[in-house]
Structure formats: C-alpha cells, structure tokens
Structure 1
C-alpha cells in the first residue's frame, strides 16, 4: 500500500469518531472524503477546521451542533505531518 493510501486510512480512522450531528458512526462517508481532501490541501489547523465545519454544515444545511473541529483539525494535521516523516 502506498504512503498516501496509508495516510488516508489513518485520517479516516480519526474522522470515523467525529459525529457532530449525532447521526452515528459510518454516516459521514461523503464528508469524510471531503475532509481528507481538505487535509491534503491545508497546513493550518484553524483554516482546516473552518473547511471541515463548512463541509459538514453544507451537507446538513444547518450549523454544526457538536464536535470540536479545531481539535479534530489539529489531530488530523499531526497524523499528516508525522506520516510524511515516518512512512
């Protein structure tokens, strides 16, 4: 498996637990794919968090009631930055 695929699986593992609308694990496949793409495009946690919020709020057409997109973005960027060094 190539490095990008390994990274994407690691990011997906974290995103699986992110459930801001209490819809249940596995419900956010489209949002996860968009969020993974955003991780590859962003280096700044605040900007990534804003993009994640935009992705989820666009899908649900309402403000994100739960979750912590800043903490999520920070975690995702740590995974991204550590994997590029160790993979």
Structure 2
C-alpha cells in the first residue's frame, strides 16, 4: 500500500470517531472523504477546523451541535505531519 493510501486510512480512522450529529458510526462516508481532501489542501488548524465544520453543516443543512472541529483538525494535522508521505 502506498504512503498516501496509508495516510488516508489513518485520517479516516480518526474521522470515523467524529459524530457531531449523533448519527452513529458509518453514517459520514461523504463527509469523511471531503474532510480527508481538506486535510491534504489545508495546513493551518483553524482553517481546517472551519472547513470541516462547513463540510458537516452543509451535509446536514444545520449548525453542528456536537464535536470539536478544532481538536479534530489538530489530530488530523498531527497525523499528516508525522506521516512520511510527501504530499
């Protein structure tokens, strides 16, 4: 498996635990894919958190009632920066 795929799986693993709308595991496939794409494009924690919030709120057409996108962004960026993958 190539390094980008390994990184994407690691990011997806963290994102699978993020359930801001209390919809349950396995419900956020589209949001996870969009968030992974955002991680590849954005290197600043607050901008990434805003992008993730926007992704989830757009999908549900409602303000995100739970979760901490800033904490999530920090975790995702840590994984990205600790990866040996050069994106």
Q: TM-score, normalised by structure 2?
A: 0.96
Cα RMSD (Å) of the superposition?
0.8
**C-alpha distance in structure 1 between counterparts of 2:37 and 2:23, whole Å:** 22
**Residue in structure 2 matched with residue 41 of structure 1 by the alignment:** 41
**C-alpha distance in structure 2 between counterparts of 1:26 and 1:16, whole Å:** 7
**C-alpha distance in structure 1 between counterparts of 2:24 and 2:65, whole Å:** 14
Segments of 5+ residues of structure 2 without an aligned counterpart are none
Secondary structure (helix, strand or coil) at the match of 2:84 reads helix
**Residue in structure 2 matched with residue 75 of structure 1 by the alignment:** 75
**C-alpha distance in structure 1 between counterparts of 2:31 and 2:43, whole Å:** 19
**Residue in structure 2 matched with residue 64 of structure 1 by the alignment:** 64
Segments of 5+ residues of structure 1 without an aligned counterpart are none
**C-alpha distance in structure 2 between counterparts of 1:5 and 1:71, whole Å:** 23
> Deviation above 4 Å: which 4+ runs of structure 1?
none
More helix by share: 1
* TM-fit CA distance, 1:84: 2.6
